[in-house]
Amino acid sequence: MAVPRVVIVGRPNVGKSSIFNWLDGRRLAIVDDMAGVTRDRMITLIEHDQRFFELIDTGGMGVADCDNLTKDIELQIQAGIDEADLILFVVDTKAGITALDEHVAERLRKIEKPVLLLANKTDHPGIDNAALEFHRLGRGWLVPISVLQNRNRDLLFEEIFERLPENSADEKPEETPRMKLAIVGRRNVGKSTFVNSLAQAKRMIVSEVPGTTRDSVDVHFNLDGHRFVAIDTPGLRRNKSIRTDIDFYGLHRAQRSVRRADVCLLFFDCMESISKVDKQLAHYIEQQYKPCIFVVNKWDKVAGKVPTERWVRYLREHFHSMTYCPIAFVTAESGKNMKAVLNHAQMLFKQSQTRVSTPTINKLLKAATQQQQPPLYLNRRPKIYFGSQIATTPPTVIMMCNMPQGFPPSYKRYLINVFRDNLPFSEVPVKLYFQKRESGNTHDRADQSDESE
């Protein structure tokens, strides 16, 4: 299972970003009295009592953005809610219930996910009774807290973990879920034709007119006795070309489909050059840590004229950070090579669900750091005490170290490449976290893990 996710929501100025910083123990999010400072989602890994979750900070619900980004902010908030296993609904005890609090509560009533209602700014037990009025909102178990007074932080962690699924280094998925496959790409690259071939029926409208598909559509199909879901998405175009609400929401539905998917198929037209939209899509898939296959479609038009190696080099040159993604050449109209693509997608799905033991990771880490030490940082050598996989989908590895800030991106890439070369994660994204941990028994634990291999 993936690392559980907890999202913080609420109206502006109730202290969401302060809570985000408070739970993490670092000043990551900007805290300001002006409404609308937080726009994009911020995500951080939280560890408490050897359990983990990813915490997501969001913008204020109902705020009218001064730069006309209200729709974008609201969709970022919705994306955070969609991804979350638990929602922290924040209110302000000193301000009492407002119309915007009721608006947030009404929005959350339509969501079937556990909710904790955090009455922030409840600075001392004497005003706990004032916080009780928020029960009228009817959303979630009430926890009175105060960031300013550092009140009830441990209680909040207890309530959060009580509502989250367990995740431990030795846990294994109980069953393999049905794979969801997002078919993405710019306009008129043959996505709907591919889905129709999968379903062996004309489920999607196929037209030479770009932008025929305007919403994400789930199509169920069977392969070798197993059921799958293909998500056909709207074709995307450059942001500056997005002029209508249909285009705007089509873009965000396509992004939501990527987030829902287990594996993404990013389509290219072999007759067209790689565009800015292709790069934006690839970047979004990479940001979401989704396994991906680059699918070059309409290959029948150039078969025998253009060697596949030329397109392989072309893709690798344009997508340097996604060289782990396999490349497939298909003809969606005839169905050529489609089954091979689906079989490979299942392999990626299996890789993303693989769990590796802590001793195996530490043995590999020891060899990797001996072969190439981290560079000096402030005249000191950063040190990794031990590593452990804490989640799957994507494979997520945490490094306990003395100076997380001392590991440059180049060294993180080096370690990820070592994992890909030596662990069963060769073709999927790997998420790597560095957490500060003092030396001592944690170092001993790493030595013991190596010896137990």
Residue 210's domain is classified under what CATH number?
3.40.50.300
Q: Which of 333, 352, 371 is the last residue of a domain?
A: 352
Q: Mean pLDDT, to the nearest integer, of 422-431?
A: 96
Please give the pLDDT value at position 230. 86
Phi/psi at 351 (5° precision) = -60, -40
Please give the pLDDT value at position 431. 95
Least confident of 128-137, 167-176, 302-311, 423-432: 167-176
Please give the pLDDT value at position 25. 85
**Do 229 and 129 lie in a common domain?**
no
Q: Which of 327, 352, 377 is the last residue of a domain?
A: 352
**Does the pTM exceed 0.75?**
no
**Do 328 and 208 lie in a common domain?**
yes
Phi/psi at 432 (5° precision) = -125, 125
Please give the pLDDT value at position 58. 86
The residues near 298 (Cβ < 8 Å, ≥ 6 apart) are 190, 269, 270, 271, 331, 332, 333
- Check whether 352 has a pLDDT greater than 90: yes
Q: Mean pLDDT, to the nearest integer, of 252-258?
A: 82
Number of separate domains in the chain = 3
Q: Which domain holds residue 421?
A: 358-451
**Do 158 and 194 lie in a common domain?**
no
Most confident of the ranges 48-52, 220-224, 415-419? 415-419
pLDDT in tens, 327-350: 999 999 888 898 899 999 999 999
**Do 442 and 312 lie in a common domain?**
no
Q: Quickly state the pLDDT bin for 174 (edges 50, 70, 90).
A: very low
**Do 34 and 102 lie in a common domain?**
yes
pLDDT in tens, 196-213: 887 764 433 333 333 334
**Do 55 and 150 lie in a common domain?**
yes
Work out the mean pLDDT of the chain and round it to a whole number: 83
Q: Say whether 440 sits in a helix, a strand or coil.
A: coil
Q: Which of 352, 384, 414 is the last residue of a domain?
A: 352
Please give the pLDDT value at position 116. 96
Residue 402's domain is classified under what CATH number?
3.30.300.20
**Do 211 and 344 lie in a common domain?**
yes
Please give the pLDDT value at position 170. 43
- Check whether 8 has a pLDDT greater than 60: yes
Most confident of the ranges 187-196, 212-221, 243-252, 431-440? 187-196
**Do 140 and 29 lie in a common domain?**
yes
Residue 169, domain member (yes or no) = no
Residue 243, domain member (yes or no) = yes
Query: Which is higher by pLDDT, 43 or 309?
Result: 309
**Do 16 and 81 lie in a common domain?**
yes
Pairing of strands 217-223, 226-232: antiparallel
For every residue of 136-194, DSSP letters joined together read GG--SEEEE-BTTTTBSHHHHHHHHHHHSPP--TT---SSPPPPEEEEEEBTTSSHHHH
**Do 140 and 210 lie in a common domain?**
no
Residue 276, domain member (yes or no) = yes
**Phi/psi-derived region of residue 403, left when phi > 0, alpha when psi is between -120 and 50, beta in every other case:** beta
**Do 445 and 403 lie in a common domain?**
yes
What is the C-alpha radius of gyration for the chain, rounded to an integer number of angstroms?
24
Q: Quickly state the pLDDT bin for 29 (edges 50, 70, 90).
A: low
**Do 92 and 216 lie in a common domain?**
no
Angle between helices 245-260 and 70-83 (to 10 degrees): 20
Residue 170, domain member (yes or no) = no
Residue 168, domain member (yes or no) = no
Q: Quickly state the pLDDT bin for 240 (edges 50, 70, 90).
A: low
Give how far Cα 211 sits from Cα of 191, 207, 247, 251, Å: 11, 9, 9, 11
Beta-bridge partner residues of 227: 222
Residue 412, domain member (yes or no) = yes
Residue 196, domain member (yes or no) = yes
Residue 373, domain member (yes or no) = yes
Please give the pLDDT value at position 245. 46
Pairing of strands 42-48, 51-57: antiparallel
Please give the pLDDT value at position 172. 42
